Structure 1
């Protein structure tokens, strides 16, 4: 069975991460969790490894304003895909069944209107042209996004002088980069329908805690591959474990996987 892997920067998991990590173990696809040595909360249903095996960066890149580690995660993801044949998953991805790639590929089709491609579940073969192009851009270029209009590039360079991981808009090395290079390489046809990997679109997140779980039946979510629980929204909805409604989707899944939210608060 194919291996899946994620990165965690921090000392502990909330019940969201425990739920998602355990979901992989319970479909017999044990998850590898890479970390930089500060993880204290290690359940027996994950395989923990040193993140430096994949990306031995001089520092953990954090956004200078909000301290987000999204940029570091984006860079780590590229290195993981380049060095291994693992499937990358964000730590807030819940497995409905084992994740499987076809010919080494697993990613959702991009949004042509917004020119974005969700990057929370991803795999590429090592010889993928788009993977090579993304790594070249992220690690061996001037970091000026080629998908930007010329006027945008000029204004950006006039303001910053040069491009760095810190001056790039947050998430530049995520969805817009993926859409651009995968489209350029002609590999977009390798993608799967978004609903296969993201079974519950975020516009329905208010139903995660609805006591009537049947309201989600129209999405046929149980026959998909995975759910993305969007950590930032999840934490707002379930900041207090007491807010969990009995019978709602999240309550149902926590009970299914025997995760006690009170033991692992948000």
Structure 2
């Protein structure tokens, strides 16, 4: 069976991460969690590894304003895909069934209107031309996104002179980058339908905690590969709020034996 891996920066998981990581173990796909030595909360259903095996940096790249580590995680993910045959899964991706690639590929079809390819679940073979081009952009370029207009590039250079991981907008190594390097290439044909990995659109997020779980039946999420819980939104919904009995989240927590009171948001 193929392996799934993620990165966690922090000392503890909330019940969201415990739920999602346990879901992989419970479909016999024990997940690998890379960390930089700060993880204290290591359950037996994950395999913990040193993140420096993949991406050894003198510091964690954090956004100077929000302190988000999203850029560091994006860079780590590129290194992981380049160096291993693992499937990347964000720690808020829940496994309905075990994750499987097709010839080493697993990612959703592009959103053409928004010019994005979602990056929360992603696998590519190491010799993928698109992956090689993304790594070249991320680790061996001037870091000016090629998908920007000339006017935007000039304005950016006028402000920052030279680009750095800290000055780029968040997600510059995420969905817009994937769209630029994958869409309109033969590799995009390897994509799976978006509902296979993201069956519950973000606009339906409040149904996660609706006591009438049947309201989600029309999405047929239980026939897909994954559910994505969009961690930042999940935290806004559940921080300080009771989990409704019978809701999707309540049902899944009970299924996998996770007590949310043991791992608060």
TM-score tier (shorter): over 0.9
1:114-136 residue CA offsets vs partner (Å, 9 max, x unmatched): 10111000000111000000000
| Equivalence for 1:151 | 151
TM-aligned CA deviation for residue 188 of structure 1: 1.0
| Equivalence for 2:102 | 102
1:231-263 residue CA offsets vs partner (Å, 9 max, x unmatched): 1111111112x5100000000000000000000
| Equivalence for 2:255 | 256
1:204-253 residue CA offsets vs partner (Å, 9 max, x unmatched): 0010000000000000000000000011111111112x510000000000
- Where do 4+ consecutive residues of structure 1 move more than 6 Å? none
| Equivalence for 2:39 | 39
2:25 matched to 1:15? Answer: no
Alpha-carbon separation, structure 2, partners of 1:184 and 1:165: 27
Q: Is the 8 A contact 1:130 1:184 kept in 2?
A: no
- Match of 1:227, SS? strand
Alpha-carbon separation, structure 2, partners of 1:58 and 1:38: 15
- Match of 2:5, SS? strand
Q: Is the 8 A contact 1:12 1:40 kept in 2?
A: yes
Aligned pairs (5 A) from 1:171-210: 171-183=171-183, 185-210=185-210
TM-aligned CA deviation for residue 184 of structure 1: 5.2
Alpha-carbon separation, structure 2, partners of 1:172 and 1:115: 13
Alpha-carbon separation, structure 2, partners of 1:159 and 1:39: 37
Alpha-carbon separation, structure 1, partners of 2:51 and 2:232: 23
TM-score by length of 2: 0.99
| Equivalence for 1:61 | 61
Alpha-carbon separation, structure 2, partners of 1:8 and 1:235: 16
TM-aligned CA deviation for residue 34 of structure 1: 0.1
| Equivalence for 2:138 | 138
**Total equivalences in the alignment:** 265
RMSD value over aligned CA atoms? 0.7
2:219 matched to 1:219? Answer: yes
TM-aligned CA deviation for residue 185 of structure 1: 3.6
Alpha-carbon separation, structure 2, partners of 1:138 and 1:58: 17
